[in-house]
A and B are shown apart, each in its own frame.
Chain A
Amino acid sequence: MYPTDLKYTKDHEWVRFDGGEAAVGITDFAQRQLGDVVFVELPEVGRQLKQHEVFGTIESVKAVSELFSPVSGEVVAVNGDLGNHPERVNNAAHETWMIKVRPSVASEADALLDSAAYTELTK
């Protein structure tokens, strides 16, 4: 079961809405598919993202995947710890945010999956 306080995308990102910000990471399902994460490439603070736009890449030993923004908005924070500790994505996927976005289109959140729907998707 995936945390109920998070929303999810079909691309296996999660979002935590907190105040006026949306923290974004990848799900435990995604990290298990990737295997050992060795590199996370993230955008600059200030970048304007559209929903579903690629905001970075994540690389495991064997594969590269793109990261898609679940919502539109401005990047207001980037998790710099991932530069030296990419393995945190494997160790605690749902606690390891990658970027924080200030959402610009409130209705986009409605289209995201809840825990039950995402659990169903990953069965």
Chain B
Amino acid sequence: MSSSPVALKKTPLNAKHRASGARMVEFGGWDMPVEYSGITDEHLAVRTRAGLFDVSHMGQIELAGADALAAVQWMTSNDASRLAIGQVQYSALTTDQGTFVDDVLVYRMADDHYLLVVNAGNIVKDHEWIVGQAKSRGGDVAVVNSSSRYALIALQGPAAQEILQTLTGVDLAAIKYYWFATGEVASVRATISRTGYTGEDGFEIFVAPAMAEKVWDAILAAGRQVDVRPAGLGARDTLRLEACMRLCGSDMDEHVSVLEAGLGWIVGWKKDDFMGAERLRAQKAGALERKLAAFEMRDRAIARHGHPVLRDGAPCGVVTSGTQTPFLKKAIGFAMVPVEVAVPGTPLTIEIRGRLVNAEVVPEPFYKRPKPSATGA
């Protein structure tokens, strides 16, 4: 696979993964666990109990200064002015064509201080992009790539709150979905964010790299009673797809606009001008030609990234993600197709290794978690 002479980067939990017998793979330049006990087992653990993920490979880029909000507003699609301190939003770092430099989470840390969580493989690119944009805009804003200052651990699943609450004095029930709080986890200073990439309730916990092993072990120990599982990137991918969450670099990239990715809800239509706003507004007004569609296979086959979608025998689109989901036990995926095809109920023909198979566009999401009982999420 990777013949790159550059050594793979390691998270602070790398030795732990290897000692635990996780299967490791290269991902975005990182040496990461793809599975521990098996993708199906880990996936089901997250849907029914809890799973623990090392997502320290994700990057953090911070913007601070009197003009930090203006900079974030210019560079990202969502309306960051709506964020209170302690709140998070999903957004896109956009090109002037309204396409993806990356998809990001924007954290408002303080009045003039924002933290962006970015994809592992894009840290350097995003940082250069943000610095470049900030420079060309001018104003009082400092940009720092603080990725090496954080380990990030995700505890996901219906039992996540119950497990984590035994390790922290922070009232987790008071943290709403897409909000965060600071406090201690296992006596380690942490930022606790009620976010995730699995479609379940759960938390992403930022700690200093040197403290990552301590927090990881403490969560596994606290979760032993409910049989929490350490989980890898394999289950992370099947979980996010089942929940219809996009994977940047697979479902969208610098050639796919925010609207084409079906993410109109992360565009702040009412805010001032921002990168790519003109094209996104034109697409919204009717110029949108293609769109990401969720599909289920009707024939027994699994469509994968790159498989062509055909209409009248000719290619009209492409599968961007696809897998057999362990929980729903169906073959599902996303495909980028003409807008008139991206309508639930529309039959699709997908070419898999020369064979034509049937699929159908379905409403999103494939999986939606049951309403929580008393978590407040």
Contacts and interface: CB of A to CB of B under 8 A. Distances in A.
Partners in one complex: yes
Interface of A: 35-36, 38-39, 41, 57, 59-62, 64, 83
Contact of A39 (B38, B238, B324): B324
A20 B194 CA distance: 62
Given A36-B38, A36-B40, A61 B323 contact: yes
A61 B304 contact: no
B300 A61 contact: no
Cβ-closest 6 pairs across A and B: A38-B324, A61-B39, A36-B40, A62-B234, A36-B38, A36-B39
A39 B302 contact: yes
22 contacts: A35-B23, A35-B35, A35-B39, A36-B38, A36-B39, A36-B40, A36-B326, A38-B302, A39-B300, A39-B302, A39-B324, A39-B331, A41-B301, A57-B353, A59-B324, A61-B39, A61-B238, A61-B323, A61-B324, A62-B39, A64-B304, A83-B300
Contact of A61 (B23, B301, B326, B353): B326
Given A39-B300, A39-B302, A62 B40 contact: no
A62 B233 CA distance: 10
B296 interface: no
A82 to B, nearest CB: 11
B228 interface: no
A25 B89 CA distance: 49
B302 A35 contact: no
Contacts of A57: 353
B79 interface: no
Interface of B: 23, 34-35, 38-41, 234, 237-238, 300-302, 304, 323-324, 326, 331, 353
Contacts of B237: 62
Nearest to B237: A62
A36 B323 CA distance: 12
A38 B39 CA distance: 11
A19 to B, nearest CB: 32
B323 A62 contact: yes
A62 B302 CA distance: 10
Nearest to A38: B324
B20 to A, nearest CB: 16
A118 B19 CA distance: 26
Nearest to B323: A61
Contacts of A60: 39
A62 B38 contact: no
A67 to B, nearest CB: 13
A39 to B, nearest CB: 6
